[in-house]
Structure 1
């Protein structure tokens, strides 16, 4: 495994230091009690390893969202339940590490997680950026965008939403401005990038159910 920066977040200093010592054999480690300790000193291209105990994973995700940081996330605990691992991975984490203090398999496990994560990295980053742009829209603007992406004319959108065609034009112009696009084709491409059809973008788009 090539040199990599790892942030290890765990309020249990014994577990945190034990894992940090093992990981430091093949990477640069930043051990913290919580991510709030980083302040504005967020490293570039880091991996985040977070203890999946007592809500620490949820708190870490919330801190990342507030700070606008996006790292591959690996959750860990000593004896995770299968159902919990599935939930965490489905929520978007790059991997789940079973850590009981044995460093022998750690390098291999993290390398496997890293390789899988890098294979998805470019797609994930572009998707997140597209989602961030869409999150700037108001609910009405989002509805206009959805209708436009479905091929409806301004008049048809107005009928569906119960507003005037002129109001649709205003919302459409605002959508283009916020998304940084100049035409419908570009808006559609960005919407597809963010998986607009998944129905998960409006509201707490990046809120993981953990």
Structure 2
């Protein structure tokens, strides 16, 4: 890991936070510990990566917070004796790597260094995805439905028929949708929808 990398540790368990922080310090890695996302919002990191205890929907909430800020940072998750399904779900949700705790500080530092290398490769794509999700999150349910129709290449008339609204109403939703997405043309809106994984 590079010396400038900031590691933000999120774990509700104080003793585990202390153990992981101590473990990393022994390898020359400083981790800024936080109990949860609420505490983190007042001191959001400028960069680096997240080391997160995989509990509940913490990873999903963290990624949503990043998307709302238009910022992406790699997430490495951990749990004691995680199942294969849990690891797979965390990676699908957006974790870049996963490990079982407890382990050695050297092992964790190695995993974090690898996550940092992966982040350099995929960071721009993930940042575009975070920005796109942030923009799509501004849309109403109906505006999202119109965007999906536009992305499928449907005309206002066909979108209206599908949603059982008039073509004129579709036009209004379409204009609002383009404005909220900060898109000048439908093609830009479609690109944003694809980057946000709203459509395939």
TM-score (norm 2): 0.83
Residue in structure 2 matching 1:119, options 118, 121, 129: 121
Does 1:19 find its partner at 2:20? yes
SS at match of 1:173: helix
Q: Give the CA deviation at 1:45.
A: 0.6
Q: Counterparts of 1:46-61 in structure 2 under 5 Å?
A: 46-52=48-54, 55=55, 58-59=57-58, 61=60
Q: Distance in 1 between matches of 2:106 and 2:159?
A: 60
Assess if the C-alpha contact under 8 Å between 1:6 and 1:46 holds in 2.
yes
Q: Counterparts of 1:60-139 in structure 2 under 5 Å?
A: 61-62=60-61, 65=64, 68=68, 70-139=72-141
For structure 1, the 5+ residue unaligned runs are: 199-210
Match of 1:173 in 2: 175
Assess if the C-alpha contact under 8 Å between 2:132 and 2:195 holds in 1.
yes
Q: Distance in 1 between matches of 2:174 and 2:35?
A: 45
**How many correspondences in the alignment?**
195
For structure 2, the 5+ residue unaligned runs are: none
| Displaced runs of 4 or more, over 4 A | none
Q: Distance in 2 between matches of 1:195 and 1:11?
A: 31
SS at match of 1:181: coil
Structure 1 residues 146 and 13: CA distance shift in structure 2, 3 A: closer
Q: Distance in 2 between matches of 1:102 and 1:144?
A: 51
Q: Distance in 2 between matches of 1:63 and 1:113?
A: 17
TM-score (norm 1): 0.80
